Amino acid sequence: MSPSELWGAICGAGDDSSRIIFFDIRLPRTIVGIFVGAGLGASGVVMQAFFRNPLASPGLLGVSSGGALGAVIAIVFATSLGLFTIPFASVLGAFMATGAVMMLARKGASPEHLLLAGVALNALFGAATSFLLSASATHTHLGAQILFWLMGGIENRTWEHVWMAAPGILVASVLLLPLGRPMNLLALGDSGAQSLGVNVRRLRWQLIALSTTLTALATAVGGVIGFVGLVVPHIFRLLDGPNHRRLLPLSMIGGASLVLLCDLPTRFLGSGMRLGVLTSLVGGPFLLWLLRRRSC
């Protein structure tokens, strides 16, 4: 689309095809990208404060892989796939994963317990997903659909996807923003935070519920998009410091920008270059660089 065609479409003056391209293809894709990125960015900030570990990310608790397994089960077993089947199964899987982690780690629910429970669940869900994938490999159509979903992407998203994810992500973000201040205290230790007036137990439950909601909804419409939740908070912590009152909104904006930026080349690079592949291509080396930096 040329700029003049775009302008025409927005003003309602252009021809039908450019109007359809803009309003029914480009615009929903962009809006979905914004919400998915903002959700993943905010969720990453929460996880890192929750685990008091700057290397934590939304994938850590098994939330993303739970969502992925839910979606894959829906793809393989659902007799008819409505538009909402896969996202719904994904949200269900993500919340069940969080529920399982919290049950496993209920005694004390220290960050270390949750982390190890997450490792165990990630392995379990990963194994189940791989099994379903290899079992359905003979059905080329199913296998392709699963792979497609596991690699994450926001192409072909419609207004239905926007309505599915946007309200929930918006509400969770609005509820999350005022928690920036107590999160600053939590980041420096539970006992200290509680002695200064934070209800640590309640705060931890709020954070886990909101961050699961954000990850689940983002995964539901975008598939598994790795590393956004890890990389984005880090960049802004380096640029602007660790104050969560600023880090939360900045990471939402940054996450949205990163997803849209990584989505651009997927439009030109052909079907192999998926959004999830690109974010991981960027994120993997970034994580290695971080580890190197921290060890010296």
**Site residues, another protein (CB under 8 A):** 52-54, 181-182, 184-185, 187-189, 191-192, 194-199, 237, 241-243
Nearer to another protein, 237 or 274 (CB): 237
Quote the least distance from Cβ 182 to another protein, whole Å.
7
| Burial state string for 120-138 with b = 16 or more CB within 10 A and e = fewer than 16 | ebbebbeeebeebbeebee
Quote the least distance from Cβ 296 to another protein, whole Å.
14
Nearer to another protein, 94 or 183 (CB): 183
Cβ contacts of 228 within 8 Å, gap of 6 or more:
37, 40, 41, 44, 255, 258, 259, 279, 283
Phi-psi region of 227 (alpha: psi -120 to 50; beta: other; left: phi over 0): left
Nearer to another protein, 59 or 182 (CB): 182
CA 75 to CA 143: how far, in whole Å?
A: 9
**What secondary structure, in 3-state letters, does 134-155 show?**
HHCCCCHHHHHHHHHHHCCCCC
Quote the least distance from Cβ 1 to another protein, whole Å.
44
Quote the least distance from Cβ 90 to another protein, whole Å.
31
Q: How far apart, in Å, do the first and last CA atoms of the chain sit?
A: 49
Quote the least distance from Cβ 117 to another protein, whole Å.
21
CA 219 to CA 64: how far, in whole Å?
A: 7
Question: Are 196 and 124 within 8 A, CB to CB?
Answer: no
Quote the least distance from Cβ 210 to another protein, whole Å.
20
Nearer to another protein, 19 or 245 (CB): 245
Which residue type does 2 have?
A: S
Quote the least distance from Cβ 138 to another protein, whole Å.
48
195 CB burial (10 A radius; 0-12, 13-18, 19+): exposed
Nearer to another protein, 184 or 257 (CB): 184
Nearer to another protein, 26 or 113 (CB): 113
CA 241 to CA 223: how far, in whole Å?
A: 30
Nearer to another protein, 20 or 188 (CB): 188
